[in-house]
Structure 1
Amino acid sequence: MIAKPFNLADHCVGRAARATPDKTALIVVGDANTPEQAERWTYAALDLAVRGVAAGLLAEGLVAGDRIMLRLPNTSDYALLFFGAISAGLVPIPVSSQLTEGEAAFLLDDSAAAAIAQTGPLAIASIPSGCKIIDEETIPRLKASRPLPAHADTEAEAPAYMIYTSGTTSRPKGVVHAHRTALGREPMHHDWQGLTADDVMLHAGAFNWSYTLGVGLLDPWACGATAVLYNGPKHIEVWPKLINAVGATLFAAVPSLYRQMLKYCSLTPSSLPTLRHGLAAGEALSPAVLEGWRTATGREIYEAFGMSECSTFISNHAGMPIRPGSPGKPQGGRRIAILPLSDSNEPLPAGEIGLLAIHRSDAGLMRGYWRREEEENQVFRGEWFAGGDLAAFDEDGYLWYYGRADDMMNAGGFRVSPQEVEAALAPCPGIAEIAVGEHRVRDDVSVIAAYVVRKDGASVSAEDIVAMAGKRLAAYKCPRQVFFVPSLPRSANGKLLRRSLNMAAISP
Structure 2
Amino acid sequence: MSSSYQQLRDSFVWQRPAQFNFARDVIDVWAAKDPQHLAIQWLDDVGNQATMTFAEVAQRSCQVANLLTSIGVARGDTVLLLLGRQLAWWEATTAGLRMGAVVSPGTTQLSASDIRYRINAAKASCVIADRALCERIDAIAADCPTLRSKIAVANSNQPQQAAAPLADGWLHYEQASAAASTAFACADTAGEEDALCYFTSGTTGYPKMCIHNHLYGSGHITTGKYWLDLKPDDLHWNLSDTGWAKAAWSSYFGPWLCGAAIFVHHANGFDPAQSLAMFSRFPITTFCGAPTIYRMFVLQPLQSLDFGALRHCVGAGEPLNPEVISVWQQATGLVIRDGYGQTESVILCGNMPAIEPKFGSMGKPMPGIDLAVIDSQGNRLVGEEGDIAVAIAPQRPLGLFKEYRGEPEKTAKCFRGDWYLTGDRAIVDEEGYFWFVGRSDDVILSSGYRIGPFEVESALLEHPAVAESAVVSSPDPDRGEVVKAFVVLAAGHTASETLVAELQDHVKTVTAPYKYPRKVEFVEALPKTVSGKIRRVELRQQEWGQ
Q: Same fold (TM over 0.5)?
A: yes
* Counterpart among 273, 278, 285 of residue 313 in structure 2: 278
SS at match of 1:81: helix
Residue 349 of structure 2: aligned partner: 314
For residues 439-450 of structure 1, the aligned pairs below 5 Å read 443-444=460-461, 445-447=468-470
Q: Does 1:8 align with 2:22?
A: yes
Deviation at 1:175, TM superposition (A): 0.7
Q: In the alignment, does 2:281 pair up with 1:245?
A: yes
Say whether 1:23 aligns with 2:37: yes
TM-score (norm 1): 0.79
Check 1:372–1:143 CA distance in 2 against 1; reply closer, same or farther (3 A cut): farther
Counterpart residue type for residue 198 of structure 1: D
SS in 1 for 2:349: strand
Summarize the Cα distance change of 1:335–1:76 in structure 2 as closer, same or farther, 3 Å threshold: same
Q: Say whether the 8 Å CA contact 1:206–1:229 is kept in structure 2.
A: no
Q: Write the mapping of 1:53-72 to structure 2, written as runs, cut at 5 A.
A: 53-72=64-83
Aligned partner of 1:433 in structure 2 is: none
Alignment counterpart, residue 108 of structure 1, candidates 114, 119, 130: 119
Q: Unmatched 5+ residue regions in structure 2? A: 1-14, 153-170, 445-452, 462-467, 476-522
Cα shift readout 1:188-229 (whole Å, capped 9, x = no counterpart): 233311111111101222333321232022211111111011
Gaps of 5+ in 1: 410-436, 453-465, 484-497
User: Which residue in 1 is equivalent to 2:502?
Assistant: none
Q: Distance in 2 between matches of 1:447 and 1:389?
A: 17
Per-residue deviation at 1:442?
7.2
- Please tell me whether residue 330 in structure 1 is matched to residue 346 in structure 2: no
Matches within 5 A, 1:488-503: none
SS at match of 1:264: coil
Q: Which digits, 9 at most, give the CA deviation of each residue in 1:452-480, with x for residues without a partner? A: 9xxxxxxxxxxxxx9xx99xx97979989
Aligned to 1:350: 382
Give, in angstroms, the shift of residue 266 of structure 1.
3.4
Q: Contact (CA 8 Å) 1:29, 1:39: kept in 2 or not?
A: yes
Give the whole-Å Cα distance in 2 for the aligned partners of 1:310 and 1:190: 16
Q: Which among 134, 148, 160 is matched to residue 150 of structure 2?
A: 134
1:377-435 deviation digits (Å, cap 9, x = unpaired): 111223221121111211100001111113499xxxxxxxxxxxxxxxxxxxxxxxxxx
Moved more, 202-211 or 169-178: 202-211
TM-score, structure 2 as length reference = 0.74
CA distance in 1, matches of 2:35, 2:188: 22
8 A contact 2:220–2:253 mirrored in 1: no
Contact 1:303-1:327 within 8 A present in 2 as well: yes
| Aligned match of 2:326 | 291
Q: Is the 8 A contact 2:240 2:531 kept in 1?
A: no
User: 1:481, CA displacement in angstroms?
Assistant: 12
Of 224, 229, 247, which residue of structure 2 is paired with 1:194? Answer: 229
- Displacement, 1:367? 1.1
In the alignment, which of 81, 102, 125 is matched to residue 91 of structure 1? 102
Q: Distance in 1 between matches of 2:473 and 2:435?
A: 28
Q: Distance in 2 between the 1:299 and 1:309 partners?
A: 29
Question: Is the 2:383–2:428 Cα contact (8 Å) retained in structure 1?
Answer: yes
- Structure 1 residues 79, 355: CA separation in 2 closer, same or farther (over 3 Å shift)? same
**Contact conserved, 1:11 with 1:182, CA < 8 A, in 2?**
no
Q: How many residues were matched structurally?
A: 438
Whether contact under 8 Å (1:205, 1:229) holds in the other structure is: no
1:88-136 C-alpha deviation (Å, 9 max, x unpaired): 1000100111121112211111111122222433131212123123223
Name 2:296's counterpart in structure 1. Answer: 260
Q: Is the 8 A contact 2:223 2:346 kept in 1?
A: no
The Cα offsets for residues 354-383 of structure 1, whole Å up to 9 and x where unpaired, read as: 111113311011111111111001112232
Matched, 1:392 2:454: no
Looking at structure 2, the residues matched to 274 and 478 of structure 1 have their Cα atoms a distance apart, in angstroms, of: 31
Deviations 1:264-315 (A, max 9, x none): 24335x7213000211101211100000011111112111011110032110
SS in 2 for 1:267: helix
The structural deviation recorded for 1:138 is 4.0
SS at match of 1:117: strand
Letter in 2 for 1:279: V
- Identity between Structure 1 and Structure 2 (%): 26
Aligned CA RMSD, in angstroms, stands at 3.2
For the residue of structure 2 that corresponds to 1:227, the secondary structure is strand
* Mapped partners of 1:354, 1:97: distance in 2: 37
- 1:375 alignment counterpart: 410
Counterpart amino acid of 1:339? I
